[in-house]
Amino acid sequence: MSDLEILEEHRCFGGRVLICRHGSAATGTPMRFSLFLPEGEGPFPLLIWLSGLTCTEDNFTTKAGAYRKASELGLAIAAPDTSPRGEGVANDEAYDLGQGAGFYLDAREAPWAAHFKMESYITRDLQDVLSANFPLDMERRGISGHSMGGHGALTLALKHPDLFRSVSAFAPIVSPARCPWGEKAFSAYLGKDRAAWAAHDAALLMESGAARYAFDEILIDQGMADGFLDEQLKPELFEEACEKAGQRLILRRQEGYDHSYFFIQSFIEDHLEFHRVRLS
């Protein structure tokens, strides 16, 4: 896209970290993302990282400690913002709705429907701007994320298996239709008809047979000292759905780890290796 702006550029482990902004037709707003490009000419395989509630494109970029390993593996990583933002964009005073809480779906209800089109943004506009401007191999794409972003990674991979060859997640909200965060967001964005929610619930998508056989394995890490584990995350629901569907799931329950980026730092290299094997 011609309106791409590179706001910052930093040398990092031989490669480059870029902070970018561009116009999105889906959201009708400027959107920001970070991009790590390894050293060399490319084209590089691409991992898209989706962050969680309250985050921007900056959280993964500065806290995950991913770029040393990504440089070693020759893997590019794009980390978009979690929602549209700006004047005229609907918002809510709570941290779990509105700006910073896009839930990676296309809203259907007012006032959110005007701008909150994050599924279309991630699967179309972001792909287009990355493909048009950077040396990336768009046939080799994976997706990962944390918490709300883990929900996004799982659901978008299951709904768009033609776009992604690998998927993993950290502490994902695996069944938003059955937890307070998801019930609140889905009611606001999608309305009260729970039948519409199923298309954005990873456990229900897996139960329905979505993307059956598209992924050899799915990797999830879950900290067992995570304060959101029992009420919001419920990994056992996705585990049960995968077992019924015949989908191989690697669910690693990590004792003593919480919901923070210290948890992500501890296991991010395993996830990058997981994606590299499937994108090679």
The residues that are catalytic are 147, 226, 259
Residue whose C-alpha is closest to residue 215's, from 247, 242, 170: 247
Enumerate the β-bridge partners of residue 17: 10, 36
How much of the chain is helix, strand and coil, in % rounded to 5? 40, 25, 35
Report in angstroms the alpha-carbon separations of 225 from 42, 75, 182, 228, 269: 40, 31, 21, 9, 21
Query: Among all chains, which residue has been given the structure tokens 């709570």?
Result: 94
Residue type, 117: K
Structure tokens at 134: 């950077």
Q: How many alpha carbons lie under 13 Å from residue 62 in its C-beta half-sphere?
A: 6
Structure tokens at 223: 């900290």
Structure tokens at 268: 């991010």
Cis peptide before 38 (omega within 30 of 0): no
Structure tokens at 129: 């701007």
Structure tokens at 108: 């259907």
Question: How many other CB atoms are found less than 10 A from the CB of residue 135?
Answer: 12
